[in-house]
Structure 1
Amino acid sequence: MQSMDKPAVFVLATRNSGKTEEIRALLKGYPVELKNLDDFGPIPEVIEDGETFDDNAYKKASFTARVLGLPAIADDSGLVVEALNGEPGVYSARYAGEDADDAANNAKLLEQMAGVEDRRAAFQCVISIAVPTGAALTYEGRCDGVIAQTPSGEGGFGYDPLFYCPDKEKTFAELNLEEKGEISHRGRALKEVAKEFDKILTWLEIHMPVQERFECKGGCS
């Protein structure tokens, strides 16, 4: 493993540019170099079939770490709506179907919430930091809010235009990155990561496999 005098290299197990930008902004100033899957060649896609956010986050992080040989950070986040018995939950990214985009998912959510008075909801996030051997650390964050009647705002991604945060009196899509990072589920989970970053680096030194050097004895070219 590289010397901890240099920035530690982590792979963000995502190709989502919005999520990557958000995580880089939140960890700015820390001794870490963040790459994402677009910085590497094609690798098999992880099937997110876990029953919980924790299951999916660990599955993505551990698989990416094994394939690329680097510590990996993955998050699984989703919207949990009280009146829908926790839906869309782990299916947040594909609520309207496997190939659904953000607009389709938001449209389905509004359809499901038509006429519903109880609009309480929460964004939940689980972050898993894994190494190629399978060991992992887990961090969690949550932000409570309500589902708006109509979309508002141009920023963010996912359900941000519909998720209204009473503390800010705005939807997530109306917040800039700094404002969102202060109160978002991912921001809160990453703050826990940042608070323990020195411990995480020590943990990496212990758990990252060390490449062994072998002496070549004849027949080597």
Structure 2
Amino acid sequence: MKIIFASQNTGKVREVKSIFENSNFEIISLYDLGNNIEIDETGSTFSENAVIKAKTIYDYYKEPVIADDSGLIVEQLDGRPGVYSARYAGEKCTFEDNNIKVINELKEFPEPHKAKFVCTAVFYDGKNIIETVGELKGKIIKEQRGNNGFGYDPIFVPDGYDKTIAELSLEEKNKISHRAEAFNKLLAKLKRYFKI
């Protein structure tokens, strides 16, 4: 069964396809479809934004859709960047711009800089919404390390690790990440939903 993944982010697409690869679901991304639909993420929570993405793409293709919204929540920054994680340093900013902004904002605070990644994943088929949440707790460090991953991965060290997420392999990341947790839970719910 084909499901459209409402994402153009190649890093996310690679992670989610690897989670679904041995299931009965074939994940087709917007990137695969050659479509870069601009979606206005106006929600105030990860859940609201994920549902907005799923419904927008469903309305366009009339096919079942999965979508997610995720971000970094830093305790000492009162939960920022939160839903603004992707564009924290401003419109058209790079991942590095965002990382530098977070590092600079934390300079006035004592270590450790406790943080967590949160991901809300949703499925929408025109009738029902199925939603799951994943979290990964850790801390923010002062310098970027590692070339794997994307986003805030180079400055985030998960609890129990001495490496940043960007220093882990995709296989290691998919065992612990917030996105992996959310999408593994979603996959389990979809198997029950479709009785497969």
TM category, shorter: over 0.9
Question: In structure 1, what residue type is equivalent to 2:81?
Answer: P
Match of 2:124 among 124, 130, 135: 130
Q: 1:150-202 CA deviation, whole Å, 9 max, x = no partner?
A: 11111000000000113232111011111111111011112212323321324
Query: Which residue is 1:52 aligned to?
Result: 45
C-alpha displacement of 1:43 = 5.8
The answer to whether 1:105 aligns with 2:105 is: no
The answer to whether 1:164 aligns with 2:164 is: no
Query: Which residue is 1:150 aligned to?
Result: 143
Question: In structure 2, what residue type is equivalent to 1:130?
Answer: Y
The runs of at least 4 aligned residues of structure 1 exceeding 4 Å deviation read none
Distance of 1:200 and 1:169 partners within structure 2: 39
Give the number of aligned pairs. 195
Distance 1:40 1:194, change over 3 A: closer
Is contact 2:20-2:26 (8 Å) kept?
A: no
The answer to whether 1:81 aligns with 2:74 is: yes
TM-score normalised by L of structure 2 = 0.94
Structure with bigger gyration radius: 1
SS of 1:138's partner is: strand
Distance of 1:178 and 1:171 partners within structure 2: 14
The answer to whether 1:177 aligns with 2:177 is: no
Match of 2:191 among 182, 185, 198: 198
Query: Which residue is 2:84 aligned to?
Result: 91
Distance of 1:113 and 1:96 partners within structure 2: 14
Is contact 1:62-1:134 (8 Å) kept?
A: no
Query: Which residue is 1:120 aligned to?
Result: 114
TM-score normalised by L of structure 1 = 0.84
Distance of 2:160 and 2:45 partners within structure 1: 27
SS of 1:161's partner is: helix
Question: In structure 2, what residue type is equivalent to 1:85?
Answer: D
Distance of 2:72 and 2:34 partners within structure 1: 31
Distance of 1:42 and 1:124 partners within structure 2: 26
